[in-house]
Amino acid sequence: MKTDTALFFIIFSLLFVSTKVYAYRNFELNEDLRVVLALENEDVTIVCKTEMPMAYCGFVHPSGKRYSFSGPSLENGLCNLRVKVTMKDSGEWRCHIGKRSIGEEVSQRIVIRVVDQVAAQSPRVTAVHGKEITLSCVTTKEKIPLRYCRFEPPNGTPFSINSAVKPSQSILGKYYYPQNLSLDRGDCAVTIRKVKYTDVGDWTCGVGLDDGKEYTDVIKLHVEGLYAMSTASTTGVAFGAVAIVVFLTILGFVTWKKRRLLGTSDQTPETIDIQELRVRPGTPTSQRSRTPPMERAMPSVVVHSPSDPDTSSRLM
């Protein structure tokens, strides 16, 4: 009897060790968006649910391929699809749900990401300028406790952080750990108190696990709001100024070119007449009549010498 028990224990232990136990992470960001983080070749259940009975339910693969679902769970507002995920399955899935009453369908989105043992919960995050935002990386193979959590900002000194860093004790006066998360549950996160221009860019999170290795991922932080609006306005004004300068330059060049061509081919009548009067003193009367008023108004004086008395008497 003891031999059989020992043999059973050995067989069970070997099976347990040789079997990979995965537990993908599932995050519901809002009512219509769910994010699933899974390892390569892991069995994942994609779920769509509502608070009302379903008439039908189907799934659309990121490639466009369609899957239908049927079963008693539709009555409870639940449908699901089992997938052994690979990189080809990464992307946005959609489920379309038909209600019992005729009308518009309900649509939900499920984003599947095939990742390593640590991954950013959202690889792209958009923040509002001057507001706070939380960046988070998590373990994907169950909720494994972290040995440490660290971040490398795009501009600034890297830092480590844990749940002891509260808002009143923030690092550099701006970084603290969100109170609803925990390193013991595999959450590496930081809340930025007020997002500034220097915070925009690629953030690298680093996580230490019990295997002695560090796993990293990158979060791209973008900004919108006041800063983005001012930047867009400045860019628009700059482009407008450049366009005006270019237009005025082209207009000036065309005008200068036109005047130059006219100046070399034609001369005004006044210029021709004045030049001819100055060069040709014996100009005919018809041309002299065009002399400027000052020259025509000058009187001519004729001086006659007195008569010789002797000559006049002889003539008489």
Q: How many CB atoms sit inside 10 A of residue 175's CB?
A: 20
Which segments of 226-302 are extended strands (E)?
A: none
Arithmetic mean of pLDDT, 153-167 = 94
pLDDT attached to residue 23: 57
pLDDT averaged over the chain? 77
SS3 content of the chain, % helix, strand, coil (to 5): 30, 35, 35
Q: Which of 224, 246, 267 is the last residue of a domain?
A: 224
Is 281 among the domain residues? no
pLDDT attached to residue 260: 63
Q: Which of 173, 206, 224 is the last residue of a domain?
A: 224
Alpha carbons 33 and 45: distance in angstroms, whole number: 15
Six-digit token string for 243: 């366009």
Residues 6+ positions from 190 with CB-CB distance below 8 Å:
134, 135, 151, 161, 175, 176, 177, 178
Model confidence at 261, pLDDT cuts 50, 70, 90, reads: low
- Both 159 and 177 in one domain: the answer is yes
Cβ-count burial of 179 within 10 angstroms (0-12 exposed, 13-18 middle, 19+ buried)?
exposed
- Both 93 and 176 in one domain: the answer is no
pLDDT in tens, 218-229: 999 998 875 444
Arithmetic mean of pLDDT, 236-243 = 57
Is 2 among the domain residues? no
Six-digit token string for 55: 């008439």
Give the least confident one: 95-104, 145-154, 175-184: 95-104
Model confidence at 141, pLDDT cuts 50, 70, 90, reads: confident
- Both 109 and 132 in one domain: the answer is no
- Both 167 and 73 in one domain: the answer is no
**Does position 159 have pLDDT exceeding 90, yes or no?**
yes
Is 58 among the domain residues? yes
Is 168 among the domain residues? yes
**Does position 37 have pLDDT exceeding 60, yes or no?**
yes
pLDDT attached to residue 249: 77
Domain region containing 34: 20-114
Is 186 among the domain residues? yes
Arithmetic mean of pLDDT, 26-35 = 81
Give the least confident one: 17-21, 143-147, 151-155: 17-21
- Both 205 and 145 in one domain: the answer is yes
Arithmetic mean of pLDDT, 237-245 = 60
Residue indicated by tokens 């005919």: 284
Give the least confident one: 2-6, 51-55, 135-139, 261-265: 2-6
pLDDT attached to residue 99: 87
Which CATH number fits the domain that encloses residue 78? 2.60.40.10
Model confidence at 241, pLDDT cuts 50, 70, 90, reads: low
Residue of higher predicted confidence among 193 and 233? 193
pLDDT in tens, 266-297: 444 444 444 444 444 554 444 444 544 444 44
Does the pTM of the predicted model rise above 0.75? no
Arithmetic mean of pLDDT, 223-250 = 60
pLDDT in tens, 57-102: 999 999 999 999 989 999 999 999 999 999 999 999 999 999 888 8
Is 43 among the domain residues? yes
pLDDT attached to residue 256: 64
- Both 148 and 220 in one domain: the answer is yes
Is 130 among the domain residues? yes
pLDDT attached to residue 20: 43
- Both 122 and 110 in one domain: the answer is no
Is 282 among the domain residues? no
- Both 30 and 96 in one domain: the answer is yes
Q: Tally the domains of the chain.
A: 2
- Both 26 and 71 in one domain: the answer is yes
Residue of higher predicted confidence among 288 and 136? 136
Cβ-count burial of 252 within 10 angstroms (0-12 exposed, 13-18 middle, 19+ buried)?
exposed
Instruction: Assess contact for 190 and 177: CB atoms under 8 A.
Output: yes
- Both 61 and 107 in one domain: the answer is yes
- Both 24 and 73 in one domain: the answer is yes
Q: Which of 114, 136, 153 is the last residue of a domain?
A: 114
- Both 46 and 142 in one domain: the answer is no
